[in-house]
A and B are shown apart, each in its own frame.
Chain A
Amino acid sequence: MTERRRPRLAVWKFASCDGCQLSLLDCEDEFLALADAIQIANFPEASSAVEDGPYDLSLVEGSITTAHDAERIRKVRQQSRHLITIGACATAGGIQALRNFADVNDFIAAVYASPQYIKALATSTPISAHVTVDFELHGCPINKEQLIEVISAFLAGRKPAIAAHSVCVECKRCGTVCVMVQGTPCLGPVTHAGCGAICPSYRRGCYGCYGPMETPNTAALAREWRMLGAAPRDIRRAFRTFNAAAEPFLKESQAHGN
């Protein structure tokens, strides 16, 4: 009896916290079914059985921060029919892109007792700065339901049903009362949907971990923040976290000093 040909999946890690690939293992109810529908050919965090490429679908977590990884991502691309980035590190450079605002040599010298042992690039860059990416799934961390949707869509050859609107739409949909109108600064109006508007439902402002939505008006939001009493430093910090190097957030943070 020959086994049916199942699509081959690979999961790759670059500079990251492992949280986005953990989302796959967090699909507790779906994991075994998923492992049946697709062949998990390369997922070192979950299996020591690693098979060579090519792969039908590669999920890439993490950003590029070393010369070695810049080379490795090219090899990953060559072996992958589709390549999807999962999470803020792979999609925007992650929190480690805060080094982009500093002089990395000072940084390394300040941090390491023996800087000569350390090899790090001056910047942390998203995967799309190095190779062609077929789809970027936002989030720090990604939403596991969205991950399942993206995997299913690619394997079915259709476009993933992932909305690019703001977190505000999600709040409205959940019936969560706007925290901004209650005086709490929130990044929801400029942040990509996908989390389900968790922070406002916990009575705090969104902190932008899904990165910028399509065509965000960050300047208008920053003005609102000022009216709520936020200082330029607060605004700069808010835009400079897990998606600090994403263009709209980068520009807005720079508009509020260094």
Chain B
Amino acid sequence: MATKTIRVDYLARVEGEGALDLHVNDGRVTTAQLNIFEPPRFFEAFLRGRGYAETPDIVARICGICPIAYQMSAVHAIESAFGVKVDGQLRALRRLIYCGEWIESHALHVVMLHAPDFLGFPDAIQMARDHGDAVRNGLALKKAGNEVMRVLGGREIHPVNVKVGGFHRVPSSAELVPLGENLKRAHDLATDLVRWVATFPFPEFEQNYEFVALRHPDEYPFNEGRLVSNRDIDIDIADYETEFEERHVAHSTALHSVVKRRGAYLVGPLARYALNFDRLPASVQTLARETGLGPECNNPFQSIIVRALEIVYACQEALRLIAAYEPPDVASMRVTPRVGTGFGCTEAPRGICWHRYDFDAEGTIREARIVPPTSQNQPSIEADLKAVATSILDQSDDIIRARCEQSIRNYDPCISCSAHFLRLSVHRT
């Protein structure tokens, strides 16, 4: 029987450089690989010898789409190493800027990158000819998220205001008022977006995922919580390395993460949603049910609905935080470096972003380890690819190729991020 290879040399509408390889033999998919050829930038290596205070600015550059995720995981890790607790309104402001990043990143993915797949367009520009309002509203939503980043962070990409211990400057209440006005409109747009994407044609496809996300006692997670899964994981973030490990494979400059005892797992919107549905406000739960989703969604193609629901949530949460805001007395807590190791894990738009830093007495990094969301999702992406391709092998190569690309976009992969994180193990004798 025929052997054939289906290949996509350069994946479009994802962040970064990747390709797809599918090998079919005797009517069976033998290999499905997400080939990441993004050149590595060696962040973990050059962070050694750098100071704790400059770390948030440096790690932001890992990703232009989710810089806050890297800054937040880093400041939490550094503060845990130095025994600093950031609470009250400073903690609320961190949550608020993270809401901005979720809104901006999710709106970009849902409307500009992922929706065209479901409606048969190569991009949002072509899609705008038939769905002009949807694209314009998506851009307005994205802009509302970016406004939060700009006011709190100074700019949308690589914000400058996040600091170990808090912020360089905190906003006045008056500065947040226009954000509130924008976010009210954004909330309505996001609600419409949920209803719109729920009408898309979804392939019948479900996987039995191990979902991994943060879980907080009473919040939908951003910055804090325990690491849990729908199997049996329930650990402190400091114990990440006892349950998970990264493996270096030949076809990817990003490492593959697995649960040591089992294998592939999934992080990101589907995981957060399934593990924290009860932490969503009743109105968001109702909206989810209205679209036909239960408290858990195992169809990766429907991740677009869950992302849209998370935009609604982020708008609500941002409005709540703004309404309760009172400028704190100090912009940041006092930070005194000491020898130690710190861990940080926060929910990037694409899933958990885990950091560990070891410091010397002056606060210089001795070792850094950063695990981005996309490298954790790679084994699940490949498992999906194999299953998706198998289910439509009787179709033409073009259809298989398009469906596989769409499967990869289900994860909103951030390849630029993932390729920069390679395990750093230094052996000195």
Binding site for B on A (CB under 8 A): 13-23, 25-26, 28-29, 31-32, 35, 40, 44-50, 65-66, 69, 94-96, 98-99, 102, 107, 110-114, 117-118, 120, 124, 140-141, 195, 198-199, 201-204, 207, 209, 234, 237, 241-242
Binding site for A on B (CB under 8 A): 10-17, 38-46, 50-51, 54, 57-58, 61-65, 67, 108, 112-113, 116, 122-126, 128, 135-136, 139-140, 142-143, 146, 154-158, 160-161, 163, 167-169, 247-250, 253, 331, 405, 414, 416-417, 422-426
- The answer to whether A241 touches B62 (Cβ under 8 A) is no
Q: List 9 A-B contacts (CB under 8 A).
A: A16-B416, A32-B135, A50-B12, A95-B61, A111-B423, A112-B248, A124-B41, A198-B155, A241-B58
B188 CB to closest chain A CB, in angstroms?
17
9 A-B pairs with the lowest CB-CB distances in the bound complex, closest first? A19-B64, A47-B123, A49-B122, A48-B12, A96-B41, A98-B46, A28-B143, A113-B248, A141-B157
- The answer to whether A114 touches B250 (Cβ under 8 A) is yes
Which residues of B sit under 8 angstroms from A120, Cβ to Cβ? 39-40
Which residues of B sit under 8 angstroms from A199, Cβ to Cβ? 154, 160, 168
Which residues of A sit under 8 angstroms from B65, Cβ to Cβ? 18-19, 22
Residue of A65, A96, A209 with most chain B CB atoms under a 10 A cut-off? A96
Which residues of B sit under 8 angstroms from A98, Cβ to Cβ? 42, 46
Q: Contacts A18-B63, A18-B65, A204-B168 known; A95 to B46 CB distance under 8 Å?
A: yes
- The answer to whether B41 touches A237 (Cβ under 8 A) is no
Give the distance in Å from the alpha carbon of A110 to the alpha carbon of B428 in the complex: 10
Which residues of A sit under 8 angstroms from B38, Cβ to Cβ? 15
Residue of A26, A195, A237, A242 with most chain B CB atoms under a 10 A cut-off? A26
- The answer to whether B58 touches A95 (Cβ under 8 A) is yes
- The answer to whether A110 touches B45 (Cβ under 8 A) is yes
- The answer to whether A28 touches B157 (Cβ under 8 A) is no
- The answer to whether B426 touches A110 (Cβ under 8 A) is yes
From the candidates A48, A95, A195, A198, name the one contacting B123 in the complex (CB within 8 A).
Answer: A48
Which residues of A sit under 8 angstroms from B46, Cβ to Cβ? 95-96, 98-99, 102
Which residues of A sit under 8 angstroms from B161, Cβ to Cβ? 202, 204
Q: What does DSSP make chain B's interface, helix, strand, loop or mixed?
A: loop
Give the distance in Å from the alpha carbon of A102 to the alpha carbon of B50 in the complex: 14
Residue of B64, B128, B143 with most chain A CB atoms under a 10 A cut-off? B64
Give the distance in Å from the alpha carbon of A47 to the alpha carbon of B122 in the complex: 6
- The answer to whether B156 touches A26 (Cβ under 8 A) is yes
From the candidates A99, A112, A242, name the one contacting B61 in the complex (CB within 8 A).
Answer: A242
- The answer to whether B250 touches A15 (Cβ under 8 A) is no
A90 CB to closest chain B CB, in angstroms?
13
A87 CB to closest chain B CB, in angstroms?
9
Residue of B13, B40, B108, B156 with most chain A CB atoms under a 10 A cut-off? B40
Q: Give the residue name and chain of the A residue nearest to B135 (CB).
A: A32
- The answer to whether A237 touches B51 (Cβ under 8 A) is yes
Give the distance in Å from the alpha carbon of A20 to the alpha carbon of B63 in the complex: 10
Which residues of B sit under 8 angstroms from A195, Cβ to Cβ? 155
A58 CB to closest chain B CB, in angstroms?
16
Give the distance in Å from the alpha carbon of A134 to the alpha carbon of B163 in the complex: 37
Which residues of B sit under 8 angstroms from A47, Cβ to Cβ? 12-13, 122-123, 125-126
6 new A-B contacts, CB < 8 A, other than A15-B38, A114-B248, are A32-B125, A44-B11, A45-B13, A113-B423, A202-B167, A204-B161
Give the distance in Å from the alpha carbon of A22 to the alpha carbon of B112 in the complex: 12
Residue of B15, B135, B136 with most chain A CB atoms under a 10 A cut-off? B15
Give the distance in Å from the alpha carbon of A234 to the alpha carbon of B41 in the complex: 23
- The answer to whether B54 touches A45 (Cβ under 8 A) is no
Which residues of B sit under 8 angstroms from A15, Cβ to Cβ? 38-39, 41
What's the A-B contact tally at a CB cutoff of 8 Å?
184
Give the distance in Å from the alpha carbon of A96 to the alpha carbon of B157 in the complex: 18
Give the distance in Å from the alpha carbon of A102 to the alpha carbon of B49 in the complex: 12
Give the distance in Å from the alpha carbon of A117 to the alpha carbon of B39 in the complex: 12
Give the distance in Å from the alpha carbon of A14 to the alpha carbon of B416 in the complex: 10
B47 CB to closest chain A CB, in angstroms?
9
Give the distance in Å from the alpha carbon of A26 to the alpha carbon of B168 in the complex: 25
B282 CB to closest chain A CB, in angstroms?
31
- The answer to whether B154 touches A198 (Cβ under 8 A) is yes
Q: Give the residue name and chain of the A residue nearest to B50 (CB).
A: A237
A33 CB to closest chain B CB, in angstroms?
11
Which residues of B sit under 8 angstroms from A50, Cβ to Cβ? 10, 12
A62 CB to closest chain B CB, in angstroms?
8
Which residues of B sit under 8 angstroms from A65, Cβ to Cβ? 39, 41
Which residues of B sit under 8 angstroms from A102, Cβ to Cβ? 45-46
- The answer to whether B64 touches A20 (Cβ under 8 A) is yes
- The answer to whether B64 touches A141 (Cβ under 8 A) is yes
- The answer to whether B108 touches A25 (Cβ under 8 A) is yes
Give the distance in Å from the alpha carbon of A35 to the alpha carbon of B112 in the complex: 13
Which residues of A sit under 8 angstroms from B108, Cβ to Cβ? 22, 25
Q: Give the residue name and chain of the A residue nearest to B147 (CB).
A: A28
Which residues of A sit under 8 angstroms from B10, Cβ to Cβ? 44, 50
Which residues of A sit under 8 angstroms from B140, Cβ to Cβ? 28
Q: Contacts A204-B160, A241-B54 known; A28 to B16 CB distance under 8 Å?
A: no
Q: Give the residue name and chain of the B residue nearest to A66 (CB).
A: B39
From the candidates A20, A111, A140, name the one contacting B42 in the complex (CB within 8 A).
Answer: A111
Residue of B10, B39, B43, B139 with most chain A CB atoms under a 10 A cut-off? B39
Which residues of A sit under 8 angstroms from B116, Cβ to Cβ? 48
- The answer to whether B158 touches A209 (Cβ under 8 A) is yes
- The answer to whether A49 touches B135 (Cβ under 8 A) is no
Q: Give the residue name and chain of the A residue nearest to B150 (CB).
A: A198
From the candidates B15, B42, B163, B426, name the one contacting A18 in the complex (CB within 8 A).
Answer: B15
- The answer to whether A46 touches B123 (Cβ under 8 A) is yes
Give the distance in Å from the alpha carbon of A241 to the alpha carbon of B146 in the complex: 25
- The answer to whether B54 touches A46 (Cβ under 8 A) is no
Which residues of B sit under 8 angstroms from A117, Cβ to Cβ? 248-250, 253
Give the distance in Å from the alpha carbon of A114 to the alpha carbon of B62 in the complex: 22
A26 CB to closest chain B CB, in angstroms?
6
Q: Contacts A40-B125, A111-B424 known; A28 to B146 CB distance under 8 Å?
A: yes
- The answer to whether B146 touches A45 (Cβ under 8 A) is no
Q: Contacts A111-B45, A237-B51 known; A207 to B12 CB distance under 8 Å?
A: no
Give the distance in Å from the alpha carbon of A150 to the alpha carbon of B97 in the complex: 30
